[in-house]
Amino acid sequence: MSQSLFPRPDTPLRSEAGPYFGDFGGRFLPEALVPALDEIREAYEKAIVDPDFIAELQRLSREYTGRPSLLSEAPRFSALAGGARVLLKREDLNHTGSHKINNVLGQALLTQRMGKTRVIAETGAGQHGVATATAAALFGLDCTIYMGEEDTERQALNVARMRLLGAEVVPVTHGSRTLKDAINEAFRDWVTNVETTHYLLGTVAGPHPFPVMVRDFHRVIGEEAREQVLERTGALPDAVVACVGGGSNAMGIFHAFLDDADVRLIGCEAGGDGVATGRHSATIGGGSPGVLHGARSFVMQDDDGQTIPSHSVSAGLDYPSVGPEHAWLAEIGRAEYRAIDDDAAMDAFALLSMTEGIMPALESAHALAGALALGRELGEGSTVLVSLSGRGDKDVDTASRWFGLLDDPSDGSDGSDGSDGAAAPRGDLAALRDLARSTLPTDRAASPETAGPETTAAADPATPLTEEENR
């Protein structure tokens, strides 16, 4: 018997390998694609017991991605989280700046083994698109990335990165012009070109085997982190927190802990303007069971089963469904899913930057906001592991608008349409800076150029920053 790269442990939850997770999952897609899905499943099952594949993926992981990724302490940030010890799993330090590269390298190797010469992918924030374009360059594959037009505007830096890497980026102009429509367009391309083309799906959603395969390629996040936390603290963490859009980084880090019953698993969905407003992406918190993009899962939908457009400040979480394994973990109560609204996520984005010198992706900022709230619930002596799934360079433009850092808002390429480019800032950076300074020793905690009356109000760390709606 050969050793599998992804052993199925003989424990109740970690052994699940699809096609169904409870009532969720399956293959709801055109018959024309069934042979391609079968081919991927067979190639995948062969590859993960093939020593050559295992060795090559492990070499790339080490020499190209830079694994294992670090586990960082975050002492000043922890002070804002009720004194809980917050540990950061640093997927932001991977090559290309997020966890996405783990899955992309695995699937790119499979693409080669299947004899295909072209990859296509959807992307929301652009992180998966950049990772796919990177792997396409590395392996010499043709590459087309579908991206909602709205996302190409708010993630312009990543669009440029993909094009510089040699990929074709196709802005998708119909529907809600975001991630879901990019996926529709990628499916249309795939069914047309399936003979030469692999659809390098970027999250744990879609038809079987994607949810299982993508999760397996990301399992390394949780397996490394579990070892690192044990070694560092001598115990398992009290909770693991990750952001959930489709849910790939969350499944990657949760998987190692699924059968550790004492470890709470917390998925942070994007609450947008607040779940009550309807303008959000909290699929588990605010959706219902249905079928979208090939799998049965939770879907944001109306009474007729029409998809309701999602909303989030974070393009990578702006998706109206979620991976079926998350739907199942929510249903059986193994994981909890909370909605983090835009305001709380943006605050956490700035606070991690100012307390630790680490600028997170807006997606990961949702997990950090969740950790701030959870830490206050768990209190001192607890340990909270956070999946820091990506870095925030791509989000500087969004954050600058949010906090009013652009001197002349009309000086940008957008804003010319008279929309919110020139709107008043929504976030108070000065108040957040004071809050960050409150974590310094008492004699240094006051703001140096102190302390106009407008900067003191928010300096009490006990003031709740977040208004999550617990499910």
Handedness of CA 376, 381, 384, 388 (dihedral sign): positive
Identity of the residue, 299 or 340, whose beta carbon is nearer to another protein in the bound complex: 299
Put residue 247 in one of left, alpha, beta given phi > 0 → left and psi -120 to 50 → alpha: left
Catalytic residue among 297, 312, 389, 438: 389
Backbone torsions φ then ψ of 20, nearest 5 degrees: -115, 145
DSSP track, 47-92: HTT-HHHHHHHHHHIIIII-PSPPEEE-HHHHHHTTT-EEEEEEGG
Task: Say how far apart CA 26 and CA 3 lie, in whole Å.
Answer: 27
Give the shortest CB-246-to-another protein separation in angstroms: 15
Of the two residues 245 and 375, which places its CB atom closer to another protein in the complex?
245
| Minimum distance, C-beta of residue 184 to another protein, in the bound complex (Å) | 5
H or E segment at 289? strand 288-292
Percentage helix, strand, coil for the chain under 3-state DSSP, each rounded to 5: 45, 15, 35
Residue number with CB closer to another protein (31 or 443): 31
Q: Is the peptide bond before 68 cis (omega within 30 degrees of 0)?
A: yes
* CB nearer another protein, residue 33 or residue 335: 33
Q: By the criterion CB under 8 A, which residues form the site for another protein?
A: 26-36, 174-175, 180-181, 184, 187-188, 191-195, 290-294, 299, 301, 303-307
Alpha carbons 234 and 246: distance in angstroms, whole number? 32
**Closer Cβ to another protein, 194 or 236, answer by number:** 194
Cβ of residue 334: shortest distance to another protein, in angstroms? Answer: 25
Least Å distance, CB 298 to another protein, is 12
Query: Are 245 and 178 spatial neighbours (Cβ–Cβ below 8 Å)?
Result: no
100 is catalytic: yes
Least distance in angstroms from the C-beta of 188 to another protein: 5
Separation of alpha carbons 125 and 145, rounded Å? 12
Decide whether 28 or 139 has the Cβ nearer to another protein: 28
Q: Which amino acid is at 182?
A: A
Check 89, 100, 116, 394 and give the catalytic one: 100
Kindly state the tokens that stand for 104: 């992309």
When the beta carbons of 26 and 285 are compared against another protein, the nearer one is: 26
What minimum distance in Å lies between the beta carbon of 141 and another protein? 20
Give least dist CB 243 to another protein, A: 23
248 counts as catalytic? no
How is 14-57 classified by DSSP, letter by letter?
A: TT--SSEETTEE---S-GGGHHHHHHHHHHHHHHTT-HHHHHHH
- Among candidate residues 16, 91, 122, 468, the one labeled active-site is 122
The tokens 């010469």 sit on which residue? 117
| 176/212 Cα distance (integer angstroms) | 28
Report which secondary-structure segment, H or E, holds 351: helix 342-356
Is 336 a catalytic site residue?
A: no
Could you tell me which residues are beta bridge partners of residue 169?
Answer: 145
Catalytic residues: 100, 122, 389
